[in-house]
């Protein structure tokens, strides 16, 4: 249904996947990338240009009509009034034509630019979903948000300026020069002198403007990331009375943005001022030059108005190019900024891998090694076997590698040495999205959306029967909480579930996992935020629900894993003990000491 809605939308771009290919083919050529973005929209751009020419025809014809009328009046030609009426009628017709032509120009232009805007954001969202989990952890979410929103908006602005301002500039200059060369080649030659002056001015300012735009964009990204972090840290900041320090830290960053913005404003303003002065001087020279031609009867007196009007048009359009350059520079910088994401190679590649249609839940870890960056091995030769339906618990001190093992089971990480086998198949050869459909995860840090409780429990599912939903609510020990809320399951929980307690959020997260009826369940300290009464109630429910399903559990509180079939005891990246609760206690080894410490 969603796909059909996309295809029916006038802003759906069938060439969305082509965007990423364009970035890959032209990594350092933003102009070529920008042009390729409009593949599939060329018809709209052509129609927009056609109606643009129609809507501006009055502006181009007016100097000709004015010059002709002046020449007729000063020349005392017969039939002046008839000539004036005909010319006036022509101008009035073209003026009225501007209204429908402007609507059609804007319509087709906007369809093209907004389609590209939507496709760009869609391509970014798609790529963000494809990036590996380690890559996400290395990136600040605020920077990603800035690229999806601010940079794409800058590209859309650039596109609009190109198809409005730049198109206007090119057509106006072409019309002015075409009419001028027909009327007088001498004046035309004079007009051409403005081109090298424009080129020199642009070349002088281009490099410093590009640098200032890049510096400002990077500062804005850093600020966006810090603002997002500040918002997330508000409860901690307030709880520790660190408001003033946080204000000082953010003020320092905002001052850095203001400083870079100031430098950008100065270079852009100077650029505009210098270019304006240069071309105004040329306009005065043009007036004197054409007046001298009229005195020598090389041109008619009325033609002075025509040439002055067209030279003013050329000067203004060249000045507009210079004024437009900061927007173009900013837009091109944003095109390159978007490429930092679209050209990222750290993606989860599932192409050509085997898709799973079923999952038993048998796992084998064979001499698994893993480390982050240049750090020492987090996992160092881990080996164990899990039968379908067994519950496996990972215990150990903080940093022992428990969460890393869960990430290996999910496929977020792959071993750098050794293998993880799922039903006898190497996980690295499996199409991971098809595999993950059989998994349910309850993370250590509960992640909820700002919708309702119902939305969060049924996240990603459609048409969930009410009976099944209520069974899940009961199993997750949410019934009393739902009953006490004013809107029940449809109660809105605020941003990140801030209206709920930690235990309530964790239970919603458990319900979200359970409603999927997975073959494999992963709990990362899933009961850590619950009080002892709620913990026992949920533990009883979990013991019933995990029966027949392979379950991986991480817990610092050893009491929550007493019923586990096997326990993996980790220390310094190695499996130092492996067995049942009773077997490990009988050994009186590492696990026994952990138990004594928590007693």
pLDDT tens digits along 230-273: 776 776 676 667 778 888 888 888 888 888 888 888 887 777 67
| 134-138, 307-311, 488-492: which is most confident | 488-492
Q: Tell me the CA distances in angstroms from 286 to 293, 305, 532, one per residue in order.
A: 11, 11, 89
* pLDDT at site 234: 73
Name the pLDDT band for 63 (thresholds 50, 70, 90).
confident
Name the pLDDT band for 481 (thresholds 50, 70, 90).
confident
pLDDT higher for 336 or 359?
359
Choice among 87-101, 226-240, 449-463, 533-547 with the minimum mean pLDDT = 533-547
pLDDT tens digits along 90-114: 888 888 888 898 889 888 888 888 8
Is a pLDDT exceeding 80 seen at residue 429?
yes
* DSSP letter for each residue of 246-310: HHHHHHHHHHHHHHHHHHHHHHHHHHHHHHHHHHHHHHHHHHHHHHHHHHTTSS-HHHHHHHHHH
Average of per-residue pLDDT values in the chain:
78
* pLDDT at site 520: 92
* pLDDT at site 421: 94
Q: What is the mean pLDDT of residues 379-406?
A: 89
| 40-49, 223-232, 363-372: which is most confident | 363-372
Residue recorded with tokens 């190679």: 345
* pLDDT at site 362: 93
Quote the distance between the C-alpha of residue 81 and its chain's center.
Answer: 62
* pLDDT at site 225: 74
Choice among 168-177, 409-418, 447-456 with the minimum mean pLDDT = 168-177
Q: What is the mean pLDDT of residues 211-225?
A: 79
Is a pLDDT exceeding 60 seen at residue 530?
no
Name the pLDDT band for 360 (thresholds 50, 70, 90).
very high
* pLDDT at site 6: 46
pLDDT higher for 365 or 258?
365
Is a pLDDT exceeding 80 seen at residue 79?
no
pLDDT tens digits along 128-140: 777 777 666 666 6
Residues 534, 536, 539, 544, CA torsion sign: negative
Q: Give the start-end residues of each E strand in 555-598.
A: 566-571, 574-579
* pLDDT at site 4: 45
pLDDT tens digits along 21-58: 677 766 667 777 777 777 778 788 888 888 888 887 77
Q: What is the mean pLDDT of residues 294-322?
A: 71
* DSSP letter for each residue of 205-255: HHHHHHHHHHHHHHHHHHHHHHHHHHHHHHHHHHHTT-HHHHHHHHHHHHH
- ∠ CA(508), CA(511), CA(515), 5° rounding? 145
pLDDT tens digits along 439-448: 888 877 777 8
């Amino acid at each position: 249904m969603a796909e059909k809605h996309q295809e029916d939308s006038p802003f759906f771009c069938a060439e969305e996947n082509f965007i990423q290919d364009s970035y890959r083919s032209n990594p350092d050529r933003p102009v070529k990338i920008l042009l390729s973005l409009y593949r599939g929209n060329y018809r709209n751009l052509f129609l927009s240009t056609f109606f643009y020419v129609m809507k501006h025809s009055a502006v181009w014809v007016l100097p000709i009509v004015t010059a002709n009328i002046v020449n007729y009046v000063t020349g005392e030609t017969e039939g002046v009034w008839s000539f004036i009426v005909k010319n006036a009628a022509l101008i009035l017709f073209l003026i009225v034509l501007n209204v429908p032509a402007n609507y059609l120009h804007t319509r087709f232009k906007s369809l093209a630019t907004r389609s590209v805007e939507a496709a760009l954001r869609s391509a970014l969202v798609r790529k963000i979903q494809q990036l590996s989990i380690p890559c996400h952890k290395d990136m600040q979410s605020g920077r990603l948000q800035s690229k999806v929103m601010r940079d794409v908006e800058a590209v859309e602005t650039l596109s609009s300026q190109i198809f409005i301002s730049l198109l206007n500039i090119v057509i106006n200059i072409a019309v002015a020069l075409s009419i001028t060369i027909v009327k007088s080649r001498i004046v035309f030659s004079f007009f051409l002198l403005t081109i090298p002056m424009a080129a020199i001015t642009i070349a002088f300012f281009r490099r410093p403007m590009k640098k200032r735009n890049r510096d400002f964009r990077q500062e804005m990204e850093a600020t966006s990331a810090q603002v997002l972090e500040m918002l997330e840290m508000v409860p901690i900041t307030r709880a520790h009375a660190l408001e003033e320090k946080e204000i000082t830290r953010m003020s320092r960053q905002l001052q850095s943005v203001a400083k870079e913005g100031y430098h950008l404003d100065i270079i852009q303003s100077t650029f505009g001022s210098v270019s304006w002065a240069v071309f105004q001087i040329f306009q005065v020279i043009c007036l004197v030059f054409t007046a001298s031609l009229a005195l020598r009867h090389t041109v008619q007196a009325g033609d002075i108005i025509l040439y002055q009007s067209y030279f003013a048009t050329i000067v203004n359009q060249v000045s507009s190019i210079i004024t437009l350059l900061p927007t173009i520079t900013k837009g091109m910088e944003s095109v390159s900024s978007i490429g930092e994401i679209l050209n990222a190679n750290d993606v989860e590649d599932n192409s050509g891998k085997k898709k799973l249609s079923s999952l038993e839940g048998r796992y084998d870890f064979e001499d698994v090694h893993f480390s982050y960056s240049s750090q020492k091995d987090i996992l160092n030769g881990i080996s164990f076997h899990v039968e379908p339906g067994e519950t496996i618990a990972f215990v150990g001190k903080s940093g022992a590698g428990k969460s890393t093992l869960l990430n290996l089971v999910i496929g977020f990480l792959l071993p750098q040495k050794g293998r993880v086998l799922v039903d006898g198949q190497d996980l690295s050869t499996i199409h991971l999205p098809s595999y993950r459909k059989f998994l349910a995860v309850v993370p250590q840090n509960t992640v909820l959306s700002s919708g309702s409780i119902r939305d969060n429990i049924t996240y990603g599912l459609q048409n969930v029967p009410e009976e099944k939903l209520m069974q899940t609510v009961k199993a997750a020990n949410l019934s009393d909480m739902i009953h006490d809320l004013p809107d029940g399951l449809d109660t809105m929980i605020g941003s990140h579930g801030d209206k709920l307690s930690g235990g309530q959020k964790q239970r919603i997260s458990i319900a979200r996992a359970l409603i999927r009826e997975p073959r494999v369940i992963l709990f990362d300290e899933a009961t850590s935020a619950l009080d002892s009464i709620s913990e026992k109630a949920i533990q009883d429910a979990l013991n019933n629900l995990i029966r027949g399903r392979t379950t991986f559990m991480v817990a610092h509180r050893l009491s929550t894993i007493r019923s586990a079939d096997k326990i993996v005891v980790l220390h310094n990246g190695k499996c130092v003990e492996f067995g049942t609760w009773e077997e490990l206690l009988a050994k009186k080894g590492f696990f026994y000491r952990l138990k004594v410490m928590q007693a």
